[in-house]
Chains A and B, each alone.
Chain A
Amino acid sequence: MSAPLLAAAALHVAYDGILAVQEVHLAVPAGRIVTILGPNGAGKSSLLNALMGVVPCAGCVTFAGHDLAAEGVEARVAMGLSLVPEKRELFSSMSVEDNLRLGRFRLRRGAGGEAALKKIFAMFPRLEERRHQQAGTLSGGERQMLAMGRALMGEPRLLMLDEPSLGLAPLVVRDILEAVARLRDAGVSILLVEQNARAALRIADYGYVLEGGRVVMEGPPATLQADGRIIESYLGFRAAEPA
């Protein structure tokens, strides 16, 4: 396997001296879906925010061979990293279309804006129906689609998704995760944080299990699904599986 697109080594994130992420090693190969699983408060969001540069961290993060230590959020977006945060962080009083166009602000002087918009609307037809509606009036699933669409307008190489299925109906979750799988097939690498382990492992190529800020297990989906102890403690499969 070639060098990974994104690699983190000995990553630590601390808030007011309390460690949220400790000693995490992680790699996302190009064109793959890597998922991070784990219970609430395991440090999953902190990890993504640190990789994006939204919160400070210690350790080494490289993207496409470049050290990210000195790079701010803006520079990381320019390199091709993009984060869809857990709270979506949409521009709620602006229209769906404006939200999408602003996702391309970095590339505003280049061509291809219309084509990119068309691609997003083809991927999420619901957004086209609501293109003039205010983002704040969308349903939960539409908001997630818009957040993903806005991130994709910037043509990222790696898309980081923080709990995209949070609070959504099962059918919508399926739609969103199918879209994620299609994105991977289109060449976008994905780092997917999920509490919904079963759904995430269905599309992922590799997984990490985070607990108390540490990686307690990693491997391909089959390995993770086979480990009874991990399943019971962190993934809640048994509870979800009908007897």
Chain B
Amino acid sequence: MDLSILLVLVQDGIVNGAIYGLLALALVIVFTVTRIIWVPIGEFVSFGALTLAMLEAGQMPGTVALTALLGLGAAAARLWAARARLTPAGVARCLLTALLPAGLAALLAWACLAWGAPQPLRILAALAIVTPMAPFLYDTLYRPMAGASVLVLLIASVALHLALQGLGLIFFGAEGSRTESLADSLLEIGPLLVTGQSLIILAVTLVLIAALALFFGHTLLGKALRATAVNRLGARLVAIPPALCGHVAFTLAGGIAALGGILISATTTLYYDTGFLIALKGFVAAVIGGLASYPLAALGALLIGLVESFAAFNASAFKEVLVFMIIIPVLLWRSWRMPAALDEGEE
């Protein structure tokens, strides 16, 4: 292996690691705030990428209808949750917060198709279509079972993953798609060829991480989410609404996952079920961080990206096996060093 190959592999590893890192952060946010291991995050990766691909192809993606339907479901669930004390303003808020995003998504999709739109606008439309599904699913599925154990919530997540993956096959078919790159330029740095898209992926990842750090470190809402993650009972006693935290956590995670899918769909072909595999690697990274530590999860993601790219070059048949084998020493080390870390959310 000469230097140029090494550099290409490292570059590949870092770019993929950035995507895994984003997913790992999203998984940690959702788990610490709501105790939900959010398996269907992979479907959001696929949905984001394939929705964009369909918009590019000039077709109406099926995800628009799904978002609208889930919006209705979420509105109904919110009204039901608030049934004890319904005021006209409360009813209006329940309906608006659920129906407005769904309406906006449909409008954007329609506008993109009717008038044709530049790529950034289509990306925005794809995000607006896919992201609201996450809080809607929280309202309709997770919130009514908020008191359940971590295991029950995980089983619900697996069921939801299977359902969404089936819907993905219906919406997008079995063929894979790629999307247009935002920057086709190639940058030459010494022996290294850097694609514009990989620079965009890195830049977006870094900006997102900085934005998340600002949100969690310097806004009251972000601190409220952290407080809920640190001490659930304490958060209840100061009346931080669990539903508000759930909505914010799921919106962040859904948006991050959809954006991750959109970003890599310009570098590789995505199928309706590819997202799950990508999310699994994000999950391994999150586990390296004990499903609690953001920096460790990000480092883990980088490690996974690098292992994957070197494995793909040296032993491509074992690429996935090698990546997922990382989890075994990590779990051994974690259970040996800090046996309680993973159980914190269970009390």
Please list the residues of chain A having a beta carbon within 8 angstroms of any beta carbon in chain B: 52, 54, 70, 73-74, 77-78, 82-83, 85, 89-94, 98, 101-106, 108, 150-151, 153-154
Q: Which residues of B198-245 are within 8 A (CB) of A?
A: 220, 223-224, 226-227, 230-231, 233-241
Q: With a CB–CB cut-off of 8 A, which chain B residues contact A73?
A: 236-237, 239
Whether the pair B234, A105 counts as a contact (CB closer than 8 A) is no
Give chain B's interface residue range (CB within 8 Å of chain A).
Answer: 10 to 19
Whether the pair A74, B233 counts as a contact (CB closer than 8 A) is no
Cα A54 to Cα B238 in complex, Å, equals: 12
Q: With a CB–CB cut-off of 8 A, which chain B residues contact A103?
A: 238
Q: With a CB–CB cut-off of 8 A, which chain B residues contact A89?
A: 231, 233-234, 237
Closest beta carbon of chain A to B328's beta carbon, Å? 29
Taking a contact as CB atoms closer than 8 A, the residue among B226, B236, B237, B239 that contacts A94 in the complex is B226
Whether the pair B224, A102 counts as a contact (CB closer than 8 A) is yes
| Closest chain A residue, CB of each to CB of B234 | A89
Closest beta carbon of chain A to B203's beta carbon, Å? 30
Cα A53 to Cα B289 in complex, Å, equals: 34
A-B CB proximity, top 7 nearest: A89-B234, A77-B239, A106-B239, A91-B227, A91-B230, A74-B239, A73-B236
Whether the pair B220, A102 counts as a contact (CB closer than 8 A) is yes
User: Can you name 10 extra interface pairs (CB under 8 A) apart from A54-B237, A77-B237, A154-B239?
Assistant: A54-B236, A70-B84, A74-B241, A77-B239, A89-B237, A94-B226, A94-B227, A105-B240, A108-B220, A150-B238
Taking a contact as CB atoms closer than 8 A, the residue among B84, B227, B233 that contacts A102 in the complex is B227
Closest beta carbon of chain B to A4's beta carbon, Å? 23
Cα A176 to Cα B241 in complex, Å, equals: 30
| Closest chain B residue, CB of each to CB of A101 | B220
Q: A92-B231, A93-B230 are in contact. Are A102 and B223 (CB under 8 A)?
A: yes
Cα A62 to Cα B44 in complex, Å, equals: 47
Q: A70-B84, A91-B227 are in contact. Are A105 and B233 (CB under 8 A)?
A: no
Residue of B223, B237, B241 with highest tally of chain A CB at under 10 A: B237
Q: With a CB–CB cut-off of 8 A, which chain A residues contact B234?
A: 89-91
Whether the pair A78, B239 counts as a contact (CB closer than 8 A) is yes
Q: A54-B233, A70-B84, A89-B233 are in contact. Are A94 and B238 (CB under 8 A)?
A: no
Please list the residues of chain B having a beta carbon within 8 angstroms of any beta carbon in chain A: 84, 220, 223-224, 226-227, 230-231, 233-241
Q: With a CB–CB cut-off of 8 A, which chain A residues contact B237?
A: 52, 54, 73, 77, 82-83, 85, 89, 151
Cα A154 to Cα B234 in complex, Å, equals: 13
Cα A89 to Cα B239 in complex, Å, equals: 13
Residue of A94, A101, A105 with highest tally of chain B CB at under 10 A: A105
Q: A102-B220, A105-B224 are in contact. Are A90 and B231 (CB under 8 A)?
A: yes
Cα A73 to Cα B223 in complex, Å, equals: 20
Whether the pair A105, B238 counts as a contact (CB closer than 8 A) is yes
Residue of B236, B239, B240 with highest tally of chain A CB at under 10 A: B239
Cα A117 to Cα B151 in complex, Å, equals: 41
Cα A89 to Cα B234 in complex, Å, equals: 5
Whether the pair B233, A98 counts as a contact (CB closer than 8 A) is no
Q: With a CB–CB cut-off of 8 A, which chain A residues contact B241?
A: 74
Closest beta carbon of chain B to A109's beta carbon, Å? 10
Whether the pair A77, B220 counts as a contact (CB closer than 8 A) is no
Q: A91-B226, A94-B223 are in contact. Are A102 and B231 (CB under 8 A)?
A: no
Closest beta carbon of chain B to A104's beta carbon, Å? 8
Q: With a CB–CB cut-off of 8 A, which chain A residues contact B226?
A: 91, 93-94
29 CB-based A-B contacts, threshold 8 Å: A54-B236, A73-B236, A73-B237, A73-B239, A74-B239, A74-B241, A77-B237, A77-B239, A78-B239, A85-B233, A85-B237, A89-B233, A91-B226, A91-B230, A91-B231, A91-B235, A92-B230, A94-B226, A94-B230, A101-B223, A102-B223, A102-B224, A102-B240, A104-B238, A105-B224, A105-B239, A105-B240, A150-B238, A154-B239
| Closest chain B residue, CB of each to CB of A154 | B238
Q: With a CB–CB cut-off of 8 A, which chain A residues contact B227?
A: 91, 94, 98, 102
| Closest chain B residue, CB of each to CB of A71 | B84
Cα A226 to Cα B195 in complex, Å, equals: 86
Closest beta carbon of chain A to B336's beta carbon, Å? 24
Closest beta carbon of chain B to A134's beta carbon, Å? 11
Whether the pair A77, B223 counts as a contact (CB closer than 8 A) is no
Closest beta carbon of chain A to B42's beta carbon, Å? 30
Closest beta carbon of chain B to A138's beta carbon, Å? 14
Residue of B220, B235, B238 with highest tally of chain A CB at under 10 A: B238
Closest beta carbon of chain B to A53's beta carbon, Å? 9
| Closest chain B residue, CB of each to CB of A77 | B239
Cα A180 to Cα B84 in complex, Å, equals: 35
